[in-house]
Amino acid sequence: MRRITVGLVAAALLASSAPTASAAPVTSATPTPATPAPPRVTTRADVDGDGRRDAVELTRRRVTPDEYTFRIDVRTATGRRAVRDVLVPNYGDGSLTPEDVWDGTAAVDGAPGVEIAVDRSGGVGDFPWPHLYTWRTGRLVPVAAPGASAGDLGWMVADHFTLVAGYDVRTVKGVRQLTATHLDGRFGAGRERLTFRGTRLTYRWQHGAWVKSATRRVGPLWEDAALRHAGWHGVTWRR
């Protein structure tokens, strides 16, 4: 009996000292973060002038140390498409987004369809530099400001102490009319009083183009009176 008891005890000790299988560790897969969609501006407006709203999109295509490339992409209600690349100087760290340069859409001239405005100033300085684009025969083309010199496609909008500029757009007796104001600021001899002098040029939309109809000299104006002419009047840029 003693020998059997000793054998049983030895077997029990061996069993207790044998390694036991442990459960495999439970691991959970780490979800891969979704790639954020590239920034873009989207809106709907009648660009081609057929009375139906079209899809308008502005995206940033690329950035170099010198400039950005933004793209205007229009898809009409009938399925037609036109794109236009717009270059904007890179004066900073390359962080400008479509929202930063997007001014919106509005009907400016007398042709059917709205214009699309993009600020090409690069987001620095005291003066925006809006450029307008519109639909013509299936293409997006730049629109020069009335009276602009050859090759100058920017529209002048400013509310600075050295310059006040803007546009008043309205329809008079069924004809689209635009008045461009340009006022230069000057201090008096004691540099205490700032006054503005300049011109207001009026254009009428005739035969698909702006035709100058009147010139008026303005000033001197005190600053408060001059600033009433700054920016856009008569049109609302829909963002």
Structure-derived torsion over alpha carbons of residues 181, 136, 239, 180, reported in degrees to the nearest 10: 0
Same domain, 108 and 198: no
Same domain, 109 and 53: yes
- pLDDT of residue 38 exceeding 80, the answer is no
- pLDDT of residue 194 exceeding 50, the answer is yes
Checking DSSP bridges between strand 194-206 and strand 175-187, what pairing results, if any? Answer: antiparallel
Report yes or no on 150 lying in a domain.
Answer: no
Confidence of residue 193 (pLDDT cuts 50, 70, 90): confident
pLDDT greater at residue 162 or residue 124: 162
pLDDT greater at residue 127 or residue 114: 114
222/195 Cα distance (integer angstroms): 5
Structurally, the chain folds into a number of domains equal to 2
Name the domain boundary from 143, 176, 198.
Answer: 143
Confidence of residue 39 (pLDDT cuts 50, 70, 90): confident
Same domain, 170 and 110: no
pLDDT at 36: 61
Residues 6+ apart with CB under 8 A from 98: 39, 40, 41, 58, 59, 60, 70
Confidence of residue 124 (pLDDT cuts 50, 70, 90): confident
Report yes or no on 23 lying in a domain.
Answer: no
Report yes or no on 128 lying in a domain.
Answer: yes
pLDDT at 188: 83
Closest CA to 218 of 235, 236, 197, 204: 197
3-state secondary structure of 17: helix
Confidence of residue 30 (pLDDT cuts 50, 70, 90): low
Confidence of residue 153 (pLDDT cuts 50, 70, 90): confident
Please state the length of the chain: 239
CA 222 to chain CA centroid, Å, is: 33
Give residue 75's domain range.
37-143
65: cis peptide before it, omega within 30°? no
Backbone angles phi, psi at 209, to 5 degrees: -155, 160
Same domain, 121 and 188: no
